[in-house]
Each structure stands twice: as C-alpha cells, then as structure tokens.
Amino acid sequence: MPVAARGELPGRVEIHSPWDGPVDTLCRMVWRFTNVLDEFPEAADAWLRRDPVRNTVALTVLGRMRHGLWSDDRLLGWFTASGEVRGAVLHTPPYALLLGDIPDDTVAPLAEALRGREISGVNGPKRQAEAFAAAWGRVETSRISLRLYRLEALRPPSRAGAARVAGEGDVELVVEWMRAFLAEAEPEIANDDPAPQMKHRVGQGEIMLLEDGGRPVAMAGFSLPIVGMSRIGPVYTPPELRARGYGSAVTHGATRAAAQAGAELLLLFTDLANPTSNSIYQALGYQPVTDYAAIALAATK
C-alpha cells in the first residue's frame, strides 16, 4: 500500500508508489499532488509542453486554471523518479481525471494514490485511460472513443461562409449552445454550469460564430496557442440546422483564427461513433494522430 505524508507546503500531499526494492529506491519514485496552482512545478509544466500534441487537453486546462477557472476541489499531480518528472495529471471535478501521455508504469501507482478521492471517470490516451480504469476497479458505466487529429494543410470547407468572433452580446447564445453540446457529447456532466468557462472564452476571443442570413447557425471554439499548439472545439450546430455544411464552414473559420493567433499545431478531437464529423474534418485537411478514451466509472460512495 502507498504511504501518504503531508508535505510542508499547504495543500500538498506526497504518496509513494508501491515498490519492492530498497527504501532509498522507494523514496525516489513518488506521485505528488497539490491543489495550489503555484505549487505545480515548472518541471511538470515542462513535461507537458515537451509533447503539446498528446498533452493538448492538459495544457489548455492548466492554462485556464491560471486564468481563474476550476479552482474548486482541483488536483494537480506529477510523478517523479530519481528526481525527474515523468508524468502529470489534472482533476477538476465534476470532470473526469485528465491524464497526460504518462508512462505505462505510472498508471497503477496513480490509481492507488487516488483511492481516497471521488473519481467519476478518466480521460486520456486510450492505452493509459484503459489501464487506469482497470486499476481503479470500478464498473465502467459508459465510454466515448475519441480520435485526435492534426491539421496537415487547410482545405476549403464544403460550404462557403465567413465566421466572426463572438462578442459580449453573444454570451447568452454561446452558453446555451454549450449546454446543448454537453447534453449530447458529455451527458454525465451536463448539469455542470458552462457559463464561467464560456464567458471567459468569449472574452479571450476564442469562440467563432458562423452566420447565414444574418443569424448565427453554428459555433466553434479554439484555444489560444500554447507552445504553438491550438485545439479546435467545441464545434456545435443546432440539430435543425445540420447537414447544410455549417459545421465544416465554422471549423474552417476557427482553424484560420487559431492560425492567425500564432498556432502552428492545429488539433481537434472527434467522436469515433460519429462518422460524419470524422469525414468533415478529414476533408478540411485534418489527419489522425492517435486514439483517446473518455471512460465514465461508477461512484465509489
């Protein structure tokens, strides 16, 4: 069993990984956790930044934490071996535990370290997410199979149209559409209020709206570049307006906006159960990188 000890800094907990070797080796392999953003070490941030493609979600979530989002009950974790950071994770309830592209041999110790915490699910690279779910030992209640895409060369959309940046007057619509998006894509967190996040993103200029006949018909977001990386999402078209090429056009607009903001690595995720979106994004020039999984897990209480 892991050994837990309160660190000297407020909010930090250190949990040693199970290890059969000598004590001095044990003390060199450890998951460390904190809820204090300033205690997340530069080395852990650097570990995420070394691969901004596979660590895209963790990097954008961490960036938004630094703008004041997700401060309640959050957890930031990093794994060190022989003094070197080898992995990082984030948890912002009610969202799932968010894995970076952590080494396989750190997954089981992570699950053991988090035994006292309520984990509603896990989201990350498919292999690591499945390994964590197995180590966690709770029933898998649902799963979304995701594919990460990277832009090779942007192609014209299937429908012409210019997207504009959402402004303060669009916040109510943007929040409404985000609620609808969550109800479809992530029903397990549909009750979470997206207003603070979407107001922040509108204020940052990260939300694009496509108009037809003077009215908004589709929405797409993009993250401001981090290490040259930007991720497109969410992409949402109301059900009654689908199959008209709006999703392709607004994604194209968000991709261009991200590139104009300085992004060189343009990414997005798709649900593999939705062949339409997968074909749309590939037609725009996005190519598969790797697969991820969002796995919901039964409650521990």
- Full DSSP string of 27-71: TTEEEEEES-GGGS-HHHHHHHHTSTTTTHHHHHHHHHHTTT-S-
Judge whether residue 48 has pLDDT over 90: yes
The predicted model scores a pTM of 0.88
Would you call 216 exposed, middle or buried from its count of C-beta atoms within 10 A (0-12, 13-18, 19+)?
buried
Task: Find where tokens 């990460």 sit.
Answer: 148
pLDDT at 72: 82
pLDDT at 215: 96
Which band of pLDDT confidence, cut at 50, 70 and 90, is reported for residue 41? very high
Judge whether residue 24 has pLDDT over 70: no
pLDDT at 70: 81
Which band of pLDDT confidence, cut at 50, 70 and 90, is reported for residue 5? very low
pLDDT at 14: 52
Q: What angle do CA 244, 222, 41 make, to 5 degrees?
A: 155
Structural element, H or E, at residue 182: helix 171-185
Distance CA 44, CA 41 (A): 5
pLDDT at 284: 98
Judge whether residue 68 has pLDDT over 90: no
pLDDT at 2: 33
pLDDT at 71: 78
pLDDT at 189: 64
Would you call 53 exposed, middle or buried from its count of C-beta atoms within 10 A (0-12, 13-18, 19+)?
middle
Percent of the chain clearing pLDDT 70 (strictly above):
89
Judge whether residue 175 has pLDDT over 50: yes
What topology does CATH give the domain 4-147?
A: Aminopeptidase (3.40.630)
Query: How confident is the model over 103-153, as pLDDT tens digits?
Result: 999 999 999 999 999 999 999 999 999 999 999 999 999 999 999 999 999
Residue intervals of the chain classified under CATH 3.40.630.30 are: 154-284
pLDDT, average across residues 63-79:
91
Which band of pLDDT confidence, cut at 50, 70 and 90, is reported for residue 23? very low
Give the chain's mean pLDDT: 90
> With contact defined as beta carbons under 8 Å apart, do 154 and 285 qualify?
yes
Count of C-beta atoms within a 10 Å radius of residue 167: 13
Judge whether residue 44 has pLDDT over 70: yes
Query: How confident is the model over 230-267, as pLDDT tens digits?
Result: 999 999 999 999 999 999 999 999 999 999 999 999 99
Would you call 243 exposed, middle or buried from its count of C-beta atoms within 10 A (0-12, 13-18, 19+)?
exposed
Query: How confident is the model over 212-223, as pLDDT tens digits?
Result: 999 999 999 999
Task: Find where tokens 């004590």 sit.
Answer: 23
> What would be the CATH architecture of the domain defined by 154-284?
3-Layer(aba) Sandwich (3.40)
pLDDT at 185: 85
Answer positive or negative: Cα dihedral of 68, 125, 249, 234.
negative
pLDDT at 301: 58
pLDDT at 26: 42
Which band of pLDDT confidence, cut at 50, 70 and 90, is reported for residue 28? low
pLDDT at 29: 78
Question: Which residues lie across from 146 on neighbouring strands?
Answer: 271, 292
Task: Find where tokens 């159960």 sit.
Answer: 273
Query: How confident is the model over 197-207, as pLDDT tens digits?
Result: 999 999 999 99
